[in-house]
């Protein structure tokens, strides 16, 4: 989400100082231009499905790298679950 707001800030920042302009028509044009540019950027993000956009690729790769689970950790978790499952099945069989 943070990256979306960072990317969207770039076109919208063009209108940050529009109030400094004394001409109301020029102010309006500046706001309108920034809005149109922001919509264009959002449309590109949506068309790229966010993931395929160059601005998001590094964020996604870093997230995957940080949250990945090592194969050994996964194997040990699976073994613990299998042991618990066998114990539960045994308990279920004893109650019958």
Percent of residues, the chain, with pLDDT higher than 90: 53
Q: What is the pLDDT of residues 56-87, one digit of tens each?
A: 888 888 988 898 888 888 888 899 999 999 99
The torsion angles phi and psi of 53, rounded to 5 degrees, stand at -85, 140
SS (H, E, C) the chain: CHHHHHHHHHHHHHHCCHHHCCCHHHHHHHHHHHHHHHHHHHHHHHHCCCCCCCCCHHHHHHHHHHHCCCHHHHHHHHHHHHHHHHHHHHHHHHHC
Its pTM surpasses 0.75: no
pLDDT tens, position by position, 3-57: 899 999 999 998 999 989 999 999 999 999 999 999 999 999 999 888 888 888 8
């Amino acid at each position: 989400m943070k990256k979306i707001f960072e990317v969207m800030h770039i076109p919208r920042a063009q209108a940050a100082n529009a109030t400094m302009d004394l001409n109301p028509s020029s102010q309006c044009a500046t706001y309108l231009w920034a809005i149109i540019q922001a919509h264009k950027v959002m449309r590109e993000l949506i068309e790229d499905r966010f993931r395929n956009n160059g601005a998001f690729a590094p964020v996604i790769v870093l997230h995957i790298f940080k949250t990945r689970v090592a194969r050994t950790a996964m194997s040990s978790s699976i073994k613990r679950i299998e042991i618990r499952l066998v114990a539960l099945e045994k308990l279920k069989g004893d109650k019958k």
